[in-house]
Structure 1
């Protein structure tokens, strides 16, 4: 039994921090991070990198797709961790077609590939020098939807067991469940719907 629990715990921990197969690199392989490329533009051309962030723009060319990404730091599973701070933007150049309906603005993305030569471009009317990642693999992350769950208990429900059977307590019965999206400024704590 101890062996089963140990193996279950190990596999659970391994699953929590694993990188998707298509983004994985060989053990011991050094990856150039985005901050290093921004600090030393052009010095890392041809190096392997894994960058990620949020899609800002998708443009399909004849032979490849260009995805403009707002860079964010990656978690241990290579998922972009959204925050209020970014080091800038970069472009993913992927050979082939990536449908802009699937790869749309605001979705999280991670790519692995070799650093290419930088490209000049604009953000609005501001000129910008975009680092380019010639991607061999791209992973689009599913949106994590957080939901608060609150069970409403009936205070008048009676149980014949009562509280006299220590350490057991009276059973309560949930009469309803209220789901609310987390982080929504319009969400009210009032569960009855009246304001």
Structure 2
């Protein structure tokens, strides 16, 4: 059982750290940090970035889509790690239409592209200087579904009949019940067992 749990954990970590194909870059690709963006020489069009964050605003322009993003650091999978603080915002320019009903406010996004000259704008009435990325690729992340998990002992579980006895209460296998409304309820047998323990 222990080996099974270790294998499952390793598989989960591998899946979580996998970078989406369109965001992958050669290992030796030089990337500009968000903090250094305003110091970049924009005459050098090869300055690249792989940034991410949460969408704050989407504007469909004549030949492109402009996305305003609240910047967050990236995980090993390049998914933005949302925190209570951010270093600032930046703008993405994507060559073509991105539907604002899909790329909507609050969604996590990661972009790969070239850094362009910063733009002046405002956040509310506050003047703001936006770093800009001309996108080669963008990736919209799916929402993570979370569920509360409760571990309980099932005192009615018993060993195979040829052992001719029940296991002591403290040594019963653990039953996992998902308490989130988004996850299917436990089986009726499991529910009956729960009711008997109350």
Q: Which residue of 2 aligns with 1:184?
A: none
Matched, 1:32 2:32: yes
Kept after mapping to 2: 8 A contact 1:37/1:43: no
Deviation beyond 3 Å, 4+ runs, structure 1: 7-16, 151-155, 157-160, 168-172
Query: What's the TM-score once normalised by structure 1's chain length?
Result: 0.74
Q: Which residue of 1 aligns with 2:118?
A: 118
Moved more, 132-141 or 45-54: 45-54
Number of aligned positions between the proteins: 169
Kept after mapping to 1: 8 A contact 2:154/2:172: no
Q: Would the alpha carbon gap of residues 130 and 149 (structure 1) be closer, same or farther in structure 2, given more than 3 Å must change?
A: same
* Mapping for residues 135-146 of structure 1, pairs under 5 Å: 135-146=135-146
Q: Would the alpha carbon gap of residues 158 and 121 (structure 1) be closer, same or farther in structure 2, given more than 3 Å must change?
A: closer
Matched, 1:78 2:82: no
Q: Which residue of 1 aligns with 2:186?
A: none
Q: Which has the larger share of helix?
A: 2
Matched, 1:43 2:47: no
SS in 1 for 2:103: coil
Kept after mapping to 2: 8 A contact 1:53/1:70: yes
Kept after mapping to 1: 8 A contact 2:23/2:111: yes
Which of 160, 167, 181 does residue 163 from structure 1 map onto?
Answer: 167
Query: What's the TM-score once normalised by structure 2's chain length?
Result: 0.73
Q: Which residue of 2 aligns with 1:96?
A: 96
Runs of 5+ in structure 1 lacking a partner? 1-6, 182-191
Q: Which residue of 1 aligns with 2:109?
A: 109
Q: Distance in 2 between matches of 1:23 and 1:57?
A: 22
Q: Distance in 2 between matches of 1:66 and 1:29?
A: 25
